[in-house]
Amino acid sequence: MTPRFALHWFHLALLRGASLLAPAHLRAEWWQEWHAELWHVCRARAPLCGAWWPAEREVTAFCLGAIRDAVCLRRESRTPPAPAKSLHASAAQCIGWLAALLALSFLLALVLPGVRAQREQLRYRINPGLLLIERPQSDEDQARAVQTSEFRAWKARQQRYFDAFAFYHTVRERVWTDTGTRPRWNVAHASANLFAMLGVPLRFAALDEGSEMPSVILSCDAFEREFGGNPRVAGNIIRMGAHDARIAGVAPCGAWTLPGAVDAWLLEPDGAMDADAAGYVVAHLTEAGRAEMEGGGAIITAFRPHGNEDDYVGIPVEGESRGPRDLYLFAALLAILALPAVTSVSMGESGFNPHRPSWKKRFSRWGFLCAKIALLLPIAYYVPLDLAYWHAMAYPYAPEYLQLIATFAIGLFGMRWALLDQRRRCPVCLRCVTHPAHVGSASRTFLDWSGTELICTGGHTLLHVPGLPTSWFGSERWLYLDNSWDFLFLGSSEG
């Protein structure tokens, strides 16, 4: 093989290698053109006599140029990526954040046990006209409980204000379950009619009226903890202290609102209860009793069997609690009423402005404000609910106070933010105006304008905020930019 022949193959290989850099769909044509050009270059540079080396060097230089051409062709044939529409400071980003916060608070409300219990409690409304009777508490150490003997005496007598009584007292007892565990539970020994009086429906009810064996109602927690939520345990027999008892059902979560944390209720005939036990009496009011008990609790005077009289306190079992929904509505109403005190409720549009945006733009602006408020209102419900009920608090009304305060604060400052944010958004594209620049200088006579200018990154508007409001320039004004500004905003997203 002669050197010239070898160099020819080298040049062809160089071109073939360079062709690999060209885009695949243009490679054939690219190769055809360079191959043809190489033929002409070789012909033009063919030495007529002797010195072939400079000619071949020129041909090689020509072939090396093909590499650069192929690279350029590849770079230029690449489709430029479409400019990503920036969400920064846009209305969609704002709505997205609010929606995410709402979704998070809603999910937490679904998951947190305290909130779930509160929700369940609302589902099961206790029968109206019930009173919890206990002794008045004169000092911290004095027990509030009522003796079983007292309960029996009241029940035996003809009553004007009450037509039914139930009693329960709580004892800590060891329990033998058929799962093999022997936990110690807080067992409430209760009258057989307790749940019927309360009106709480039982889950997996398996009551056996004919059986002489006492029935036991499991709490929601004990049912989940000891029996893994298995509904087949209804009807099984377990041993509680000295008694065998049949599981007659499960109390719904959050349905128990009376004093005492209870794992199970052992329903017994009144005669079977310990005569010396101290517990609580639940009484059902007659019509006359309800008329007397207007306005909540009452002092009840009861006569003892031997003629003495004692005072007791009757507390409505329904409780004074208004429920999270009522509290929310009350706090939200307060927040709306207080809103004008913390911010101006105008939208910041000056009447001096001759430019009127189109109906579509105005509609979308108002729609955006409504969407923000529509998302804020449920946030102001769920976030305080999560805060108030995420764990049990020592003070009984603490969750309600906390919910009330949090709802008011979130409602008030949330709506204040919604209005302030709205006034800082370009009326055309609803993006936040940015790049604040101080313009002008303070004037002693207030005749020179001085303030801050903010610009819409989409190139639609300028917002003038006066540094010192005057009678002729008291509020913010929008300046709509004309087409001469377009060159500054090439490539910015459309509004």
Partner 1 sequence: MAQHATPEPKLSHTAAMILQAINAGYIYGFSIMEMTGLPSGTVYPAMRRLERDTLIRSQWERQSIADAEQRPPRKYYKLTPAGRSTLEASRRRYPLLERLIPSEEARSV
Footprint of partner 1 (CB under 8 A)? 32-37, 39-41, 43-44, 61-69, 72-73, 76, 483-487
Q: Which is nearer to partner 1, 33 or 326 (CB)?
A: 33
Q: Which is nearer to partner 1, 59 or 387 (CB)?
A: 59
Q: Which is nearer to partner 1, 38 or 388 (CB)?
A: 38
Q: Which is nearer to partner 1, 35 or 144 (CB)?
A: 35
> How does 426-438 read in b/e, with b if 16+ C-beta sit within 10 Å?
bbbbbbbbeeeee
Report, in Å, the least distance between residue 20 CB and partner 1.
17
Report, in Å, the least distance between residue 459 CB and partner 1.
12
Report, in Å, the least distance between residue 483 CB and partner 1.
8
Report, in Å, the least distance between residue 110 CB and partner 1.
57
Q: Which is nearer to partner 1, 285 or 456 (CB)?
A: 456
Q: Which is nearer to partner 1, 61 or 333 (CB)?
A: 61
Report, in Å, the least distance between residue 354 CB and partner 1.
21
Report, in Å, the least distance between residue 41 CB and partner 1.
6
Report, in Å, the least distance between residue 462 CB and partner 1.
14
Report, in Å, the least distance between residue 36 CB and partner 1.
4
Q: Which is nearer to partner 1, 61 or 398 (CB)?
A: 61
Q: Which is nearer to partner 1, 33 or 274 (CB)?
A: 33
